[in-house]
Copies of this chain bind each other. A is one copy, B any other.
Amino acid sequence: MRRLAHGDNAGVHVVIVGGGFGGLAAARHLARARVRITLIDRQNYHLFQPLLYQVAGAVLSPADIASPLRAILRRQRNAAVRMATVDAVDAPGRAVVLDNGDRVDYDALILAAGARSHYFGHEDWRSAAPSLKTLEDALDIRQRVLAAFERAEWAERDAEQRELLTFVVIGGGPTGVELAGTLAELARRTLAREFRRIDPRTARVLLVEGEAGVLKGFPDELRERALVDLQALGVEVRLGKHVQKIEPGRVVVGDDPIAAGTILWAAGVQPVPMVQSLGVPLDRGRVLVADDLSVPGEPRIFVVGDLAAVRRPDGEWVPGVAPAAIQMGRHAAANVLRLQAERPTEPFSYRDRGTLATIGRRRAVAVLGKRRFTGWLAWLVWLFVHLMAIVGFRSRLVVLIDWAWSYVTFQRHARILRRVRPWEADKGAPV
């Protein structure tokens, strides 16, 4: 490849699409570099996605896990933030195209736009069974869950009450397990004595998983333990069953129709469709990148995080987790600097530091290096790792307080409902 930019290569313009873990790591890695950075995101904040389910469960406020990108990059004078949606990459023209038609030219491009929920061709299921990828999603789920209890309290018919107090979570990965666990604890503990006509402890929480166990990818002993922990929390786990049909208020699992007021989807994600504009081969929507994370044939475009399909030496895919996105973001930024210095890029290698999933109060499973943890100890590891990873001292302190308060009192503070009539189905955007 020829030089990155015209002139002295110092005015190189690096465009980063996406302010999640990968994009933000890339921007920060370039803090002292002689480049201009434009970070483009549809949102004005970096979202700490691993705790999104706690917003859905009313444990945390949205702002506790959403840090303004401008505030994060305030002191990084070479970085500008643009709140916009990228529709396509025009690789021959070296520009990204925004959805208002504006073009942003780049000398080097890092695509870190992440994934969205995936309904495997059943797009009509999306409104009946919302998923959990964005802050809006989390608030929508919080609204539906809290409103279900309010509606059940004043429901006239027993069947209606039972339906409203049935919650089905589809998908037994970390998100599904966390959601089911937080719903079970909400019903059994937080709301236990707050209603006068219904007993929220009688609420049913079902977790549906097509595989033979939850938490695919974890060691078998931890998967077994997670199942036991879920059942101890009162979650009914349906394994080896696939969802055949979803309608508002009704889901068919295997041959079994279940009347459920709240149905949540945690069964799959896929990369944002914008990468299709690259015109290169994809693996389940992800770009099959070269070993330096560049797009084959496009040495100045790098792809990181959930958008990138990267194999480890053992042939397994690098998982779609935050540490992998951060490592890739830094690596792509370093490769941009190598191009700027007219040196060869280097291949990416993933350092797997472990994996964690929490099930509920004092229950989690963790793999750290070769060590495996369950129960209390895994839960403490989970708390510590997540707390330390949150951006900003203020959020860290407030999340710690909210966790401590919630642990001691069983209460959840962020139980705000939109002004709805509780006997009606909810429509519109959440507050």
Residue positions of A touching B, CB distance < 8 A: 42-45, 61-64, 66-68, 70-71, 74-75, 80-85, 99-100, 134-136, 139, 146, 150, 153-154, 191, 193-197, 392-395, 397-398, 401-402, 405, 409, 411, 413-423, 428-431
In chain B, what residue has the closest Cβ to A151?
B83
In chain B, what residue has the closest Cβ to A191?
B70
Q: A71-B415, A401-B401, A431-B429 are in contact. Are A421 and B44 (CB under 8 A)?
A: no
A284 to chain B, nearest CB (A): 25
Q: A71-B194, A194-B71, A405-B394 are in contact. Are A150 and B45 (CB under 8 A)?
A: no
**Copies of this chain present:** 2
* Contact assessment for B71 and A431 in the assembled complex, using a CB-CB cutoff below 8 Å: no
Q: A44-B146, A401-B398 are in contact. Are A431 and B62 (CB under 8 A)?
A: yes
Provide the bound-state CA to CA distance between A421 and B86, in Å: 11
Provide the bound-state CA to CA distance between A421 and B195, in Å: 42
Q: A62-B416, A431-B135, A431-B430 are in contact. Are A82 and B154 (CB under 8 A)?
A: yes
In chain B, what residue has the closest Cβ to A61?
B61
Of A68, A71, A99, most B-chain CB atoms within 10 Å: A68
Our pick among B44, B70, B430 for the contact of A416 (Cβ within 8 Å) is B44
Q: A62-B61, A395-B413, A397-B401 are in contact. Are A42 and B419 (CB under 8 A)?
A: yes
Provide the bound-state CA to CA distance between A196 and B79, in Å: 9
Q: Tell me the dominant secondary structure on chain A's binding face.
A: loop
* Contact assessment for A194 and B401 in the assembled complex, using a CB-CB cutoff below 8 Å: no
A281 to chain B, nearest CB (A): 30
Our pick among B63, B68, B416 for the contact of A135 (Cβ within 8 Å) is B416
In chain B, what residue has the closest Cβ to A140?
B431
Residues of B within 8 A of A61 (CB): 61-64, 414
In chain B, what residue has the closest Cβ to A423?
B100
**Which 10 pairs between the two chains have the least Cβ-Cβ distance?**
A61-B61, A63-B414, A70-B194, A429-B429, A80-B196, A68-B415, A44-B417, A394-B405, A61-B63, A83-B422
15 A-B contact pairs sorted by A residue (CB < 8 Å): A44-B415, A44-B416, A45-B415, A61-B63, A62-B416, A63-B413, A64-B413, A70-B194, A82-B153, A83-B150, A83-B417, A83-B420, A85-B419, A135-B431, A401-B401
In chain B, what residue has the closest Cβ to A424?
B100
Residues of B within 8 A of A419 (CB): 42-43, 85, 134, 136
Residues of B within 8 A of A393 (CB): 405
In chain B, what residue has the closest Cβ to A422?
B83
Our pick among B80, B401, B415 for the contact of A394 (Cβ within 8 Å) is B401
Provide the bound-state CA to CA distance between A74 and B62, in Å: 25
Provide the bound-state CA to CA distance between A43 and B418, in Å: 7
Residues of B within 8 A of A196 (CB): 80
Provide the bound-state CA to CA distance between A42 and B423, in Å: 12
In chain B, what residue has the closest Cβ to A79?
B196
Provide the bound-state CA to CA distance between A423 and B100, in Å: 9
A430 to chain B, nearest CB (A): 7
Residues of B within 8 A of A45 (CB): 415-417
Residues of B within 8 A of A153 (CB): 82
Residues of B within 8 A of A74 (CB): 193-194
Provide the bound-state CA to CA distance between A107 and B401, in Å: 43
In chain B, what residue has the closest Cβ to A395?
B413
In chain B, what residue has the closest Cβ to A41?
B419
Residues of B within 8 A of A43 (CB): 417, 419
